[in-house]
Amino acid sequence: MLPDRVIDHLRESLDTPDLAGTPYVLERLLGRGGMGAVYEVRDTRLGRVVALKALAPVEDGAEAVERLLREARILASLEHPGIVPIHDVGTLPDGRPYYVMKRVEGRRLDEYLATRPPLGELCRVFLRICEPVEFAHSRGVVHRDLKPENIMLGRFGEVLVLDWGVARSLGQAERQGLVIGTADYMAPEQRAAQPVDARADVYSLGCLLRAAYGTAPRALQSIAGRATEPDPQRRYPDVSALSTDVARFLDHLPVSAHRESWPERLVRILTRHRTLALLILAYLAMRVAILFFVRR
């Protein structure tokens, strides 16, 4: 039996794309996925570094080819700052399709979460994630595989939703019994291979939110709870409703997902009007001090 390192080397050699006849020069492998691999390449025409995604040799069936080309078409139709733009599409000498997109530098959401950022910052990043997803829904596209590994935080503040390989246009038929996605972030109806709509992505976003915050105020827990309701009818109807509640939480306003108690309401109001509350407390403390010295 061959050692694992030899097998890995052979696999890498077989997978490495032959870019002869294309305007691209291979630089290095960036990562592998279930459908193919992404490489850093240099565009000799424009003198820039870009990313090239090519189908794996073992995934060259008609269905896999169509999935890669469908992903390219979807990316081409979704022009948004939070979605990586596509530059080119073509076929390698061995017949495998590929497409070329912007090379994004940064860190994945799971790597960012490992640094334990403040809750407010987390919520603001989450709202940035919601923007491209909501935009895709407005164009009739559901992502269906939202997870930390598919979110990238760029070096200059960009928040990008990646890997649209299993995205689907609303109303587009799926092969019966086919389950696509990541189990931990997949809506129940998606796991059951039932038709899905935008609320499947709402569920995944709720899972993202829950994975991000750890221990959080009850209002935020309630927001994640509504987003991840097993029954799609009980979830937020769309991403806009979900992001609105998160924005209201950030602004210390009541949220639709949570019925707050009077102590929670008092704390929220005092937090929202912290400066005014501190001035009133300072004034009252001063009055008490004056009364104390006057009566002595």
With vertex at residue 225, the alpha carbon angle to CA 224 and CA 226, rounded to the nearest 5 degrees, is 95
Looking up tokens 């590994």, which residue turns up? 149
Catalytic residue among 15, 43, 145, 245: 145
What angle, rounded to 10 degrees, do the helices at 198-213 and 218-227 form?
150
Residue 173 amino acid letter: A
Which H/E stretch holds residue 240?
helix 239-250
Active site includes 15? Answer: no
Q: State how far the Cα of 166 lies from the Cα of 169, in Å rounded to an integer.
A: 10
Max alpha carbon distance in the chain (Å)? 96
CA dihedral over 46, 135, 195, 221, signed as positive or negative: positive
The answer to whether residues 212 and 122 touch, using CB atoms and an 8 Å cutoff, is: yes
Active site residues: 145
